[in-house]
Structures are given as structure tokens and as C-alpha cells.
Structure 1
Amino acid sequence: MKFDTVVLGAGIVGVCVALHLQKRGRQVALVDRRLPGNETSFGNAGLIQREGVYPYAFPRGFGTLLRYARNQSPDVRYHADAIFKAAPFLWQYWRNSHPARHAEIAKSYATLIEHCVSEHRALAAEAGASALLRPIGWMKVFRTEAVRDKEMRAAEQWHREYDIEFETLDAGRLQQIEPDLDKTLVGGVRYPQSDSVSDPNALVTAYAKYFEALGGRFFIGDADTLRDGWQVDTEQGTISASSAVVALGPWSERASARLGYHLPLAVKRGYHMHYAPQGSARLHHPVLDAQNGYVLAPMARGIRLTTGAEIAHLDAPKTPTQLAAVEPAARALFPLGQRLDDEPWMGRRPCTPDMMPIIGPARKHDGLWFAFGHAHHGLTLGPITGRLIAEMMTGEATVVDSRPFSVERF
């Protein structure tokens, strides 16, 4: 029960960290309270966002803020009792979303994003899971010309600054690609360099099985028992390691706080539901309704509807009002049939106020490393995060400059 490294958290990030370390000859234990890929990584929209060089910013326009304050927006909702606690985080998030600051953040963030598709494809090929990746891109669709023009300006900026490819879709071209979408849409934009996943849970599971095939071991255990040493209790007994990686997603703040790190982390919750398509209708691409902030994505189980963000306490009960609010718009966008899930699924996105993940050593403790805070891009950035932290831990030259993601910035 002795290992070189124990990785806490078996979501997409933790599995990729463990896998990359095991590939480099480390003996790794991966620990989670549930099987790999069954928390936040289970229910996302399945996007690997090569175009996502600008992380999702906090809106700064007064009209948008006023709309959010009413707590009736389709893309953002909040629990009133969570706002006071989240206020310092939201203030810093708002400040970092100033266009000049956001552009500076993008310069660092883009260094990770540029490797997201290639790193996924490499791991998927090794794990025998390439069939789960769809190299066809994804699209945003527009109901009004004003929203279309705003989104097209952003696409042009990303192309100009980071060579992000995009395809402009007028109404006719959109109907040619996705003939079952609402005929009143004014157009869309497709990002062909991005991939999507037909079953995110199956992809994480495949990566975890590859990790075990390389000699890594998975344990059901309690991350709350982590203690200096590094020891953690599991169902099969106590394991110990010379190093530990905290990759617990939204629960990382709790684990890091027990070790004396008080980090400005918050949680954006989200929901999903699967639907059968009506009749012979088919959806070929994941589609974001830019007006309402939800995604429809074709998945192995059916058409997955994923919501925007809900600001709430980490363990607050589900309140899927946001899902209920956008479902009528989603049914107007695409002919959805009956619901396929007994109840809405809920996940939690771990967020930092500067929109960048925390990747690297925890300076107060020898052998302790952090890999969390990926917000909306956990699936996107899992493999490149795993590679980066494994390179840092083994003393290799790193694929990107790790300094912008250091915990020391807080």
C-alpha cells in the first residue's frame, strides 16, 4: 500500500494526472469516493473547446447585470443565501473580466487551450477510445441579428489573435448542416477545430482503465482523511505515498483549506436532462443557443440539454428551475421528445476569480500538488493538465509555461 503518488479525485483531471504520471514510471494510486468520471465529469456538454482561448468572463454591461439581478435569466441563476458568501469572489471575477485584463488572461490560458484537442486524441488513441471523439466541431446558433453580429465580432477577434478557425453560417447553410433545427434562426457559427464527446463518462472510464492497464491502482476512499505523510484511508486500507495531488474539482477548496490554503474558489452548478428526438429528427453537432445559454448535444443516451450556471452553496439541494426555464426554448430549437432521465442531473464546476486553473506545487508542503479550478473547461483541459503536472513532478521540460497557473498568484 505504498506508492510514489496518490491522486485525490477521479474526474477527468485527476484521471489524466494519474495516467500521465503512471506513463512516466511512477507508481500511482487514484482515490475517489465514487468510480471514475461519476461526478462533475459525468454530465457536461461533451465539448473539447479548441476555440475557448478566452475563458468565460463575468458580464460587465449594466443591462446584463440588472437582468441577472432579477434572477430570471435563462443562462444564470443564483441562490440568495449564497450571494453574500460569494460576493468577494464575484467582485474579483468582475474585475478580472475587464476587457484589458481578460485579454491578458487569455494570453496564458490559450497556451493550454491550444493543446486540448491533440492531447485528448493522443490519450484516446492509446486507451482505445477514439470512437468516442467526434472531430466535427460544434456551433452557436442565433435568433437575432444583434446577437449574431456580437458573436461574429468575437469569432473574428479570436481568429485574428489566436488563429482560431470558424465557419460563418447563414440561415441556408445552417439548415443544410442541421436540417431539423428551428427554421427561424438567422444563422450560426461553427468551430471546426474543436472536438466533442458522445459519452463523457465513458471517455473518463476508458482513460481510467488504461491507467490501470499500465499498472496504476484505483481505490474507493475518503479524501478528507488525507494527512501529511501522505496518507489516505480507503476501503482496502491506508495507503501512503511520497507525494499527493489534489484534483478534487469543486471539493478541492475543502481539502486545501484543511491544509492551510485559503483559496478564492467558488462553484457554478449546472444541470442536464436527456431527451429522445421526435420521429426521425437528428442532431449532428452540439449546438449552443447563444440567446439563452444552454447546449443541446447528441449523446449516446439521447439529446442532452445542459444549462448555464447556478450560483449556490456546494452541497445545497438541487433546484433545477433553470432547466425548466430553458426546456421550452430547447423544444422550439429542436424537436425533442420525452424525457429519458428520472430526474435532472446536477454537477458542480470549480472556479477561480481569474478564470484560470490552479496547476502546480503547493509551496507550504513538500510533495503536495494542486490541479483544480478548471471551471467550464475541465473536460477540455484534463489531458493537457495531466501532462503538465506530470512533467513538473518528474522534472521534465514542460510543454507550456506553468507559472501563470501557480497557486502563488493568490
Structure 2
Amino acid sequence: MATMKFDTVVLGAGIVGVCVAVHLQKRGRSVALVDRKQPGNETSFGNAGLIQREGVYPYALPRDLGTLLRYARNQSPDVRYHADAIIRTAPFLWQYWRNSHPAKHAAIAKSYATLIEHCVDEHRTLAAAAGASALLRPTGWIKVFRTEKAWHAEIRLAERWHREYGVEFESLDAGHLQQKEPDLDKALSGGLRYPASHSVSDPNALVTAYANYFEALGGQFFIGDADSFREGWAVDTQAGTITASSAVVALGPWSDRISARLGYRLPLAVKRGYHMHYAPEGGARLNHPVLDVETGYVLAPMAKGIRLTTGAEIAHCDAPKTPTQLAAVEPIARTLFPLGKRLDHEPWMGRRPCTPDMMPIIGPATRHKDLWFAFGHAHHGLTLGPVTGRLIAEMMTHEETLVDTQPFRVERF
């Protein structure tokens, strides 16, 4: 088979890898994008479609004893676990718990917010260039609350985010919430809308549009096996062997398979999640993505129907599906909004790649020249894909970077 030479090979065609490839190709690099599936068909396929401009504080591990005991019983609708995975991930969870201390979490947010600040603008710019602006919805999203206590606690948190980082929010009492979402449960106590955030009507279509733009710029996509990646920066594809002067690992939850083989011991873990689509019943309409805060699932209006996405499942990356969370929250979601029949043959499952300090790994590898890492975005892969792509491309082409990249580099581990 043929051997093809490129300036850069990008491993992984999810939202992060595609955005890296786009930004490098725009800067005159010849780029090969390689994945085992078509772009956007793994983790990027099944998320809640949120571009979270309000997400300046990454998702922390609860530290109060009551919540931890509830999680330990493995019956919570928002978090489930496989017992064998808990044993394997115990060191990761310990570090995650430590970094979730309020003081450490606040320090992390100072760095993390620099990425979040640009997330909407970078998506808008890329979507406009890719002819995909219609997929972005500038309507914000809403958290809803079943109790006054939870609602007021979230308001206090939103007020803090506003003071510290200028995060916009709109507090909605029961009446105003019904005006925004007439078909939600009338018994809800209130809601909180984040108007600066965007949502996406079809995340897979958005990643596909970005990948098509990459190819229109002259980039090439290949079906290939990242496990064949080797030093000298070569990888085998269906079209032949690709060699490149530089390489970017953007394989999401599978990135540690490559990095470990190259001698990097990175604390990457996986939070799995599930989704199912439903037809709305009786002409009901959902205008915003909605998070049921006290239960821990999201309902999001998508091109295919109403998508229900679950919280986190701690399990081995490639363990068989166990969609018990979906079964647990579906009856609750039906009381929140009139969901009709299921539209998928089976639940979809995705994997969120997570680091114990809740920040992605973005930057050069420390032990290999011309090797770059772009993974570990946890719940914010869709949110931060274009920002990450731009930063990697700026670093690789020796430009001034949009933000200080030092906090996200691999050497922190």
C-alpha cells in the first residue's frame, strides 16, 4: 500500500481533533485526520449539545458526607459505578476529591475560565466559515428546580459566578419559567437561565460540517487504526501508511492508550453517559435544553427529537453498556416534560475523558519532539473544541496564543 507524507497527523476525529485539524490546515499545514469512524461518531455524537459559556467552574466531585454516602449506595440517578472500576480509579478519585476542595476548585476556575471565555465566539467563527451557523442556537439553556431550597442555592452560586467572571444569568420564578417553557411540569419551583450559552440542534452534524470545512481547505480524512501509531509519527489507514513530521493525540477517552505506550503516565479516567431520543407527546414543545438539577439529567431539543442524556457512570472505558441510569431517570423525565415513544432502537453510550484537576491537557508532550496532546475535556469537549484547536495550532506554528496555555500543559502531572 501507498505511503503518504503530511506535515501533521491528527489522531481522533471528534470535536477536538477536527478543530485541531481545521486550525492547522488554515495555517498552511498539510494535515491528515485519522479515526476508526467517520468524524463526530464517538463521544461527540451523543452529548447534550451545550456550549457552556457559564461553565467557568468545571464539574467538581461533591465533598459533603451525605452526597458521598448516597453515591456509595449506587442508587443515585445522577452517578452510578461499576465496583471493579471504583477500585481501579480510586487514586484518580482521591485526587479528584482533593482538587474539588473549594479553595482548589476556585484556583482551577481562574485558569479554566480563560478557555470558557472564548468558547461561544470560537464556535460562531468556525460555524460561519463551515456554513453551519444554523446548527447553533443562541437561546441559552435552563436549570430547573423542584424545591425552593435548591433553587435559591443555585441563585447564590450564579451570583458568585457573575461577580467573579461576569457570567450572565436570569432567575425565573415558577411563573416566568412557565412563560419560557409552557410544557414543563407546573409544580417546578423555579429555574435559572444562562442566556450567553448556546446549544446545538445536532452535535454530530456540527462536527461533520467542521470536518467538511477541513477537507474544503485541502485537508484529508482517513479511516485508520490509532493503535498502529508509532514513533516517527506513522499510522496505518485503509488508504495506506501515513507519515508526518508532527502528531497530535486527540483520541478523547482512548488517548491514554497511545500516551502510555510512549511512556506517559497520565491520570485519565472516564465518565460514561447514555442518551435516548423521544417524540414529544401531544404537540408539546421544548424551547431550551433543560437540566433537572436535583435528579441529574438533561432534556435537550434535537433534530431527531427530545434527547435525554444521563449523568456519570464510573466504569471501564470499553465495558459493556449498563444503561440503568437511563431506566432510572426516564420515568422522572416523563413527569418533567411529556415524552412520547422512544425513537432509538437501543440507548447510546459515550465516554467523557477526565483528569483529576478537571482541566484538559493541551500542549506539547514533554519527552518527544513534535508530539502534541489535546484531550481530557470531560463534560466540556463540545464547548472547548474550537478553543483547543486554535491553541494547539497557535503553539505548533509559534504564534502568540489566545490565552496562557501553561496551566493546561501535561507537565503539571
Q: Which residue of 381, 384, 387 corresponds with 1:384? A: 387
Residue of structure 1 equivalent to 2:360: 357
Partner of 1:269: 272
Partner of 2:294: 291
Runs of 4+ in 1 over 4 A off after TM superposition: none
Q: Matched residues in 1 for 2:179 and 2:113: separation?
A: 32
- Residue deviations 1:50-69 (CA, integer Å, cap 9, x gap): 00000000000000000000
1:117 aligns with 2:114: no
Q: Unaligned stretches of 5+ in structure 1?
A: none
Match of 1:12 among 12, 15, 26: 15
Q: How far does residue 149 in structure 1 lie from its aligned partner after superposition?
A: 1.4
CA deviation digits over 1:308-327, x for unaligned, max 9? 00000011000000000000
| 1:259 aligned residue | 262
Two-structure CA RMSD over aligned residues (Å): 0.4
**Structure 2 counterpart of 1:306:** 309
SS in 1 for 2:258: helix
Percentage identity across aligned positions?
Answer: 83
| Cα distance between partner residues in 1 of 2:32 and 2:136 | 27
State the partner residue of 2:91.
88
Q: Secondary structure at the match of 1:215?
A: coil
Question: Quick check: 1:396 aligned with 2:402?
Answer: no
CA distance in 2, matches of 1:260, 1:246: 14
Structure 1 position 106, deviation (Å): 0.1
- 1:282 maps to a residue whose letter is R
Partner of 2:378: 375
What residue in structure 2 maps to residue 66 of structure 1? 69
Structure 1 partner of 2:243: 240
Q: How does 1:32-51 map to 2 (within 5 A)?
A: 32-51=35-54
> Is the counterpart of residue 149 in structure 1 residue 152 in structure 2?
yes
Tell me how far apart the structure 1 counterparts of residues 259 and 141 of structure 2 sit (CA, whole Å): 36
Match of 2:200 among 193, 197, 200: 197
Under a length normalisation based on structure 2, what TM-score does the superposition of the two structures give?
0.99
Following the alignment from structure 1 to structure 2, what is the Cα–Cα distance between the partners of residues 86 and 227? 27
User: Which residue identity lines up with residue 46 of structure 2 in the other structure?
Assistant: G
Distance in 1 (CA, whole Å) between partners of 2:149 and 2:310 is 22
SS in 2 for 1:131: helix
CA distance in 2, matches of 1:225, 1:328: 44
Q: Does 1:250 find its partner at 2:253?
A: yes
**TM-fit CA distance, 1:146:** 1.2
The answer to whether the aligner puts 1:104 opposite 2:97 as a matched pair is no
Partners of 2:358 and 2:180 in 1: how far apart? 33
For 1:313 and 1:229, locate their aligned partners in 2 and report how far apart those are by CA, in whole Å.
30
Give the alignment of 1:125-204 within 5 angstroms.
Answer: 125-204=128-207
- Given residue 369 of structure 2, which amino acid in structure 1 is its aligned partner? D
Amino acid of the residue matched to residue 155 of structure 2?
M
| Whole-angstrom distance in 1 between the partners of 2:52 and 2:150 | 21
Report what 1:79 is aligned to.
82
Q: Could you tell me how far apart the structure 1 residues matched to 2:257 and 2:404 are?
A: 27
State the alpha-carbon separation in 1 of the partners of residues 61 and 297 from structure 2: 17
1:17-50 Cα offsets, whole Å, 9 max, x none, are 0000000000000000000000000000000000
Q: Which residue of 1 aligns with 2:412?
A: 409
Cα separation, 1, equivalents of 2:56 and 2:392: 20
- Distance in 2 between the 1:389 and 1:214 partners? 18
Q: What one-letter code is carried by the residue in structure 2 that aligns with 1:238?
A: T
AA paired with 2:145? Answer: F
Amino acid at match of 2:333: A
Alpha-carbon separation, structure 2, partners of 1:107 and 1:340: 41
Look up the SS of the partner of 1:227 in the other structure. coil
Deviations 1:190-236 (A, max 9, x none): 00000000000000000000000000000000111111111000000
Q: Is structure 2 residue 337 aligned with structure 1 residue 327?
A: no
* CA displacement at 1:160 relative to structure 2: 0.5
Query: 2:154 and 2:292 mapped to 1: Cα distance?
Result: 12
C-alpha separation between the residues in 2 aligned to 1:21 and 1:322?
A: 39
Q: TM-score, normalised by structure 1?
A: 1.00
Taking the aligned partners of 2:60 and 2:340, their CA distance within structure 1 comes to 34
1:166-212 residue CA offsets vs partner (Å, 9 max, x unmatched): 00000000001100000000000000000000000000000000000
Q: Secondary structure at the match of 2:229?
A: strand
The whole-number CA distance in structure 2 between the counterparts of 1:252 and 1:157 is 35
Superposition deviation, residue 81 in structure 1: 1.0
Q: Does 1:317 align with 2:299?
A: no
* Residue 351 (structure 2) aligned to one of 335, 348, 351: 348
Residue aligned with 2:374, SS: strand
| Cα separation, 1, equivalents of 2:335 and 2:318 | 33
SS at match of 1:232: strand
Distance (whole Å) between structure 2 residues aligned to residue 83 and residue 279 of structure 1: 43
SS in 2 for 1:390: helix
Helix, strand or coil for the counterpart of 1:157? helix
Could you tell me how far 1:353 is from its partner in structure 2? 0.1
Distance in 2, Cα, partners of 1:138 & 1:279: 23
Cα distance, 1:363 vs structure 2: 1.2
The number of aligned residues is 410
Distance in 2 (alpha carbons) for counterparts of 1:230 and 1:107: 35
Q: How far is the alpha carbon of 1:150 from its aligned partner?
A: 1.3
* Cross-structure match for 2:282: 279
SS in structure 2 opposite 1:193? coil
Distance 1:182 1:349 in 2: 30
